[in-house]
Amino acid sequence: IGIDVTDSREGIYKDKNTVANLGVKSTSSVQADNDWRYTWENILNYSKTFGKHGLTAMIGSSTTAYGYEKVLASGANQASALTSFHDLGANADSKENASQLIETQMVSFFGRLNYKFNERYLFQASLRADGSSVLAKGHKWGYFPSASAAWRISEEGFMADQDIFSNLKLRLSWGVAGNSAIDAYATLGGLKKSVYTFGSSVYGYYPSEIANKDLTWEKSKNLNIGLEAAFLNNRLKLETEYFLKKTSDMLYNMPYPISSGISYVPMNLLDMQNKGIEFTISATPIQTKDFIWNLSFNGTHYSNKILNLPEDKRENGIIHGTASLFRLMEGGSIYDLYTYEYAGVNPETGAAQWYMDEKDANGKVTGRTVTEDYTQASKYELGSTLPDFQGGFSTDFAYKGIDLSIATNFQIGGKIYDSMYSSFMHAGSNIGSNWHKDILNAWTPENKNTNVPIMDGAQNSNSQSSRFLINASFFNIRNISLG
């Protein structure tokens, strides 16, 4: 049993002469927070060996609960500073109070069975059932099986006389995993209060969330096939694994029209697939009494594909992500960039330009041109943030008590949107903000051959576009340690 409880109370008083309230009025507030979580687990293990057979079993249950409660009171224009935040009733204006309670709970039952024979054949099967309070009624429970098997080929009799493999093992696993990571009351909807003025101010309520009575578990089916091999008395090792993950009923906060007053609706929106391969190669090229040198190299390549979208979203997709920089399309990836394509600078005027579709009378795209009006520019698919390959390299040496280790990682391919660079390339509109040194290359009548627009304070010159998409490839020395 584990329990974690935090209680806190914060009182704030700001006089009208503080920077925050300079010359206006004093403000004061008191907030009390209570945060608690507990975990209760029960696990029973059984183990038995008989001859060449080995059996282990486990059954268990787990309950986790989380709660958060907040009470807030505030006001303004207090008669005297002497009572600080201890007399909120003395505030003449803006008396407000608020409270909130969030509670969630997860209940799980699980079991696992392991069997091995002669240290060569290994089998495992498991099943778990999870119930989550945040999901809709009738959909709270999910059931997730898994199974795996491994064959230690190097322990077979026909491998006894060979001197190539120190270890050779083949493994296979399949399983289903669940996810219920959504807001606590997404299935219930809610109301918020607002002030409306009809001659005098009155309170009213509006829907702040739309209830989704069908929210259920997001499920991922995982297939893994792996190979472990060791050579030269374990001086050279290879581990490689192919993985395939298919996710169904993926939980997603579906953007909603702004006119509705609601930002999004949580849904089981799409089906998705990840597949790829990863490997690790490690070696010990030199090993003597006083000196040892180890090397390790790992890499991963994978692809992502959207298998299914709701029928009404298949033609135009779903714009999503920070600053609406991505688009979900069937057959595409959740990492596909979708934004405006920068067309450079008009050499005669210095104005920024973007590409724009040309369409016929029926709305069919017939070509494209450039425009200096950002609001008329068209969005295009401009690559992916998903790398082609990523990995790391490390090496370490040890000699008579002195050791040196170097760890690195890298990425090849993919793009990234450099929003910080964008903020440093403003056209003079962000008064008081720094510039990047590239701004010195801005267009002038004497500097027409440039990709940086004129410094005329135009608001759209550094708006979101491919101008700020950069190659995400990198090589990084993570750590060098000498001991």
Instruction: Tell whether pTM > 0.75.
Output: yes
Q: What is the mean pLDDT of residues 191-210?
A: 84
pLDDT in the model for residue 119? 85
Least confident of 253-257, 384-388, 433-437, 462-466: 253-257
Continuous segment of H or E residues that includes residue 427: none
Give whichever of 13-17, 251-255, 301-305, 357-361 has the largest mean pLDDT: 301-305
Q: Which residue has the higher pLDDT, 43 or 204?
A: 43
Spatial CA neighbour of 39 closest among 56, 18, 21, 60: 60
Q: What is the mean pLDDT of residues 75-79?
A: 85
The string of pLDDT tens digits covering residues 380-420 is: 999 999 999 999 999 999 999 999 999 999 999 999 999 99
Rounded to the nearest angstrom, the gap between the alpha carbon of residue 58 and the centroid of all alpha carbons in its chain is 33
Query: Which DSSP category does 348 fall into?
Result: T
Question: 171 to each of 148, 153, 226, 345, how far by Cα in Å?
Answer: 7, 10, 5, 57
Structure tokens at 4: 């974690």
Assess whether pLDDT exceeds 80 at residue 453. Answer: yes
The span from the CA of 354 to the CA of 341, in Å, is 6
SS3 63: strand
Continuous segment of H or E residues that includes residue 291: strand 291-308
pLDDT in the model for residue 415? 97
SS3 376: helix
Spatial CA neighbour of 116 closest among 56, 46, 59: 56
Query: Which DSSP category does 452 fall into?
Result: B
- Ranges assigned E (strand) in 334-414: 336-340, 342-345, 352-359, 365-371, 379-384, 389-399, 402-412
